Amino acid sequence: MSDTFLQRITNLGTGQSARTAPPLHVPMRFFASAIVFFLAGAVVLLVTASRLPSIPYLALHLWTVGGGMMLVVGALTQIVTVAYHISFASTRWLSAIWWAIVMGAVALAVGFSLHVSWLQGIAGALLAVALLGYALLLMITFRQPHKTQPCGRFIAISATSLAVVALLGIGSAVLSTRTSTLVFHHFPAIHALIGLGGAFGSLIVGISYQLFPLFARTKRPAQVHPSTTFALVVAALICGVTALTLSPGIATFTVQLLALLLGTVTLTVWLLDLERFLSLRREAEIDFALANQQVAAVHAGVAVLTGVAAAVLQWTSAPLSVRLSLTQGAGTIFWLGFVMASMLGWLFKILPFLLYMARYQPYYARREVPVYRTLYRQERGQLLLLIWYLATWLLAIASVAMHSSLADIGAALVLVTLIGFIAAQLWVFSQPPAEAFPERTDGHPALHTPSHDS
């Protein structure tokens, strides 16, 4: 990784990025909270796995609402300012959003635990206010003159989807207290589709178009098609939501298959774009974060194909339980194998630097920045992600086969991976202070040679 990129991503360099990026504690607050919620969700999953092989609502919402939303807002807060060279209108507004997400996630967890629908409604309202407030803050921020970046439209659809998901959550909580209706039965599925695909999936795809050239240390080739990928993402989401709102029938089945086909094409175009980035990289070794993103994308493809199988089985004599278990398995692979694996892969790469700079920032102007390998060994990240993928498949198989023992093992491995991730980040603080690194001979950061880059 080049030192220039490190300056930008940590907000400690000179120039426009340093002037526009928020104080380091602002995104770090969101990142730290996300890790806490991820860990809490893993504990809940471990406790309940043997009783419910599919991922329980409580664990899933601790991950999505608490962990996922925190991570999305934190990442956007850092990336928007760095990529577009614009600053947020108010860091106090960001603090208020953080508090609203924390209170909403905790209220939602308590509401699910105690089966209190009105508390779930309050949680949804808090989250909707937080996410709508963040969307408004983004709109105000982007009114400033800014650069054009390929991830901009993906960021917009992700922020919009997060707000819609929160509003759908309120609707689900309200309708659950009344007579069951056909609309209510569709709410959870639409809620999940827009959340997983619109809020998290689209953002991961968009950010990859921004980060791959930086990590691969290459220019964006003309053969890359972010606009095509974006159009396919939107089309797949529209078809998916439409299929979930229609009554069962051949027309619904056709729209379902069209949505899944568009999802498959989207992932194919995206993977080809990522491969083009890597084909132009300056170094022979492939960065493990980039390789992990490709593996995670393949898992998304497997999840989509599993969804195709579940849709086709509607027209066979297969029991409803089989179709539901396949759908649960597809959701498990998509969330754990694609969304969370992607998040963890990028955090393995970026968070050690943020933590190191947060502790040793006073020395930065006088000392050389440590390279990635000094703070974190790729082998550790690869091993933890390998365990994570193993846990993903165990939980997916447990969802399909309703095998509680596999669910227990998978849940334990999820917890082990997250604990290992936290331990790896804490290890950064045990590293020697910046005095241990060579002094600079001028007032500018020293560039590391390619042989030392990760």
Structural domains of the chain ordered from first start: 3-452 (1.20.210.10)
pLDDT of residue 212: 79
- How far is residue 209's CA from residue 152's CA, in Å, rounded to a whole number? 10
Contacts of 429 (CB under 8 A, 6+ apart): 355, 359
Query: What is the tens place of the pLDDT at every residue in 86-103?
Result: 777 777 888 899 999 999
- Helix, strand or coil for residue 311? helix
From the list 293, 291, 322, 292, the residue with the least C-alpha distance to 309 is 322
CA distances from 431 to 13, 207, 280, 452 (A): 21, 30, 34, 18
| Residues of the chain where predicted confidence (pLDDT) is lower than 50 | 1-18, 53, 179-183, 434-438, 440-454
Query: 389 near 337, Cβ under 8 Å?
Result: yes
Portion of the chain with pLDDT greater than 70, in percent: 73
- How far is residue 23's CA from residue 96's CA, in Å, rounded to a whole number? 16
Of how many residues is the chain composed?
454
The secondary structure element, H or E, covering residue 198 is none
Contacts of 382 (CB under 8 A, 6+ apart): 288
Longest Cα separation, the chain = 75
Three-point CA angle 14, 18, 21, nearest 5°: 170
In 3-state terms the chain splits into helix, strand, coil percentages (rounded to 5) of 80, 0, 20
CA distances from 206 to 29, 78, 116, 154 (A): 23, 15, 37, 5
pLDDT of residue 299: 92
pTM above 0.75, yes or no: yes
- How far is residue 136's CA from residue 134's CA, in Å, rounded to a whole number? 5
Instruction: Tell me the residue type at 321.
Output: S
- How far is residue 166's CA from residue 170's CA, in Å, rounded to a whole number? 6
pLDDT of residue 387: 93
Query: 438 near 368, Cβ under 8 Å?
Result: yes
pLDDT of residue 221: 62
Query: What is the tens place of the pLDDT at every residue in 298-329?
Result: 999 899 888 888 878 777 777 777 777 888 88
Contacts of 54 (CB under 8 A, 6+ apart): 325, 328, 332, 398, 399
Which pair of tokens denotes residue 40? 């809490």
Which pair of tokens denotes residue 377? 């060994």
Instruction: Tell me the residue type at 13.
Output: G
Query: What is the tens place of the pLDDT at every residue in 39-57?
Result: 888 888 888 765 554 567 7
**DSSP letter for each residue of 269-291:** HHHHHHHHHHHT-SSSSPPHHHH
CA distances from 48 to 42, 66, 276, 300, 410 (A): 10, 19, 43, 25, 12
